[in-house]
Structure 1
Amino acid sequence: MNLAVNDLSLLFAGMLVIVALLISYKEKLGFTKDIIISVCRAIIQLVLVGYLLKYVFQLDNVILTIVMAGIIIVNAALNAGKRSNHLKNGFWISLLAISCSTGVTIGVLVLSGAIRFIPSQIIPISGMIASNSMIAIGLCYRNMDSLFHDQRQAVLEKLALGADIKLASRSIVRASIRTGMAPTIDSAKTVGIVSLPGMMSGLIFAGVDPVHAIKYQIMVTFMLLSATSIGSVIATYLAYKEYYNERKQLIL
């Protein structure tokens, strides 16, 4: 039986938001206004995106598909770049990292025949890859900021002893990459046991055989591991150099 969602069922489901509002009000969390604004924004954004995607899917144009994927990547890079407090080129580094992770992963999937280069598959997959890369890169930036601050003296001592900036930053770079990849790896460990991810659940709701839904989820797990790995490595290895000036001195 397929999942049927109508306006009335959505209205009743929307009443669940009242639970969050009541908790915020009772516990004096100060989230009441934020919850209302976020819910309204989500509804407006999703409705607009829904109609836009319907048009794009019907048009089935290669150029428009690439443009839509590009818009997703640019927005992901903008959000990731905002999490880099000490990077002058945070946006450009993030854009390159997310573009590479998305391009390589989608390229492999298309060439292997796992997906086709059509809007209904490329655009959602691009969104999944870019959003996960964005989160991973943001974690890398935050961890790098913290470690360069906490380990400043150790880095200066390595530089004083003749180490180049790559050697002096190696432990920080590795720790930051691990931090960026950790959530995706932890998620892969518990998928199917603790959680049934959105794509798999959505396919099952739509009436797809659970065995086929699992195959798609395995593909998603593989692609997200690839994307977060590529994005974290590229972003971190480019970003750590921003903590040094042209004379290879640590600047904080």
Structure 2
Amino acid sequence: MSNLTVSNSTLMLGFSLVVVALIIGYVEKLRIDKDIIIGVIRAIVQLSIVGYILKFVIKADDIWLTLACFVIIVINASWNAGKRGNGIPKAFQSSLLAIFVGTTVTLGTLVLTGSIKFVPEQIVPVTGMIASNIMVAIGLCYRNMKQTYTDRHQQVLEKLALGADIKLASLDILRDSIKSGMQPTIDSIKTLGLVSLPGMMSGLIFAGVDPVKAIKYQIMVTFMLLASTSIGSIISCYLGYKQFFNDRKQLRDE
């Protein structure tokens, strides 16, 4: 095992790195000092609370507590994804279904194949990784759809006028939006090992695990995230695009 230790005193010393960001923000007059301070405080409080909760859940090793953590993570991720779809009706419901299905399918596959075990110390962190990745992908999908429907408003109207149904009229937008949700994950895959050493791999190496074994886990995570973003993006887009049309299948003006 690694001899790496992090004490309260080392964390205080590490705060100097935050000061660097504050100094840059102040010197360049970026007006982000307040956001940085609030963000750091929130991160410390939230992570501390989550740390003690996870300690209790892992020690209890109870299936219902594990499932409760799963539900909380999925709902929270859906809520945040829904906020990124501000202006799209039923964005939360669409996000909830997309994240639930994407997380369940991916997590279920990992458990059934024996890649991970149904124990809280594995299920909870992996659920968080999957749900957060889908959340980001859905946010990108929503942003792309809102912008593209605005930019191509006239084109969509013309397709509808020529007899196309709402799916055919929106097909190009759907494809672009799904691609936008998946693209960051695809781009990150291309640079794995060459530019970045991702969290799963780095964490295991820090913990003293053989780097070759750590790489195998990271490859598994790569497959996991690619599948989950694909599922989440396609579900959210195919549910979301319908909200841009009214009951008469007319494109909304707003």
Q: Same fold (TM over 0.5)?
A: yes
The alpha carbon displacement at 1:130 in A equals 0.3
Aligned residue number for residue 235 of structure 2 = 234
* AA matched with 1:179: S
Equivalent residue, structure 1, for 2:198: 197
- Whole-Å separation in 1 of the counterparts to 2:41 and 2:88: 33
- Matched with 2:39 is 38
Counterpart position of 1:114: 115
Unpaired runs of 5+ in structure 2?
none
CA distance in 2, matches of 1:245, 1:32: 43
Give the superposition deviation at 1:86. 2.8
CA RMSD of aligned residues (A): 0.8
Question: For residues 204-215 of structure 1, what are the structure 2 equivalents within 5 Å?
Answer: 204-215=205-216
Shift of 1:85: 2.9
Q: Is the CA contact 1:132–1:228 (under 8 Å) kept in the aligned structure 2?
A: yes
Of stretches 129-138 and 85-94 in structure 1, the one that deviates more from structure 2 is 85-94
Q: Give the equivalent residue in structure 1 for 2:224.
A: 223
SS at the partner of 1:82?
Answer: helix
Output the CA distance in 1 between the equivalents of 2:159 and 2:92: 29
In the alignment, the residues of structure 1 paired with residue 88 and residue 17 of structure 2 have an alpha-carbon distance, to the nearest angstrom, of: 41
* 1:187 and 2:188 aligned: yes
Give the corresponding residue for 2:17. 16
**Alignment partner, residue 98 of structure 2:** 97
Q: Which residue of 1 aligns with 2:49?
A: 48
Contact 1:85 1:145 in 2 (8 A): no
Q: Is the 8 A contact 1:181 1:228 kept in 2?
A: yes
Deviations 1:39-61 (A, max 9, x none): 11111111111011000000011
Instruction: Write the deviation string for residues 155-210 of structure 1: whole angstroms up to 9, x where unpaired.
Output: 01100000000100000000000000000000011011000001111110111100
SS in 1 for 2:84: coil
In the alignment, is the contact (CA less than 8 A) between 1:68 and 1:123 conserved in 2?
Answer: yes
Identity of aligned residues (%): 62
Aligned ranges 1:60-75 → 2 under 5 Å: 60-75=61-76
2:252 aligns to what?
Answer: 251
Q: How far is the alpha carbon of 1:25 from its aligned partner? A: 1.0
Stretches of structure 1 that go unaligned for 5 or more consecutive residues are none
* In 2, Cα distance between equivalents of 1:83 and 1:33: 22
- Aligned residue identity for 2:112: L
Q: 2 CA distance for matches of 1:160 and 1:32? A: 51
**Residue 33 of structure 1: CA displacement?**
1.5
Q: Which residue identity lines up with residue 215 of structure 2 in the other structure?
A: I
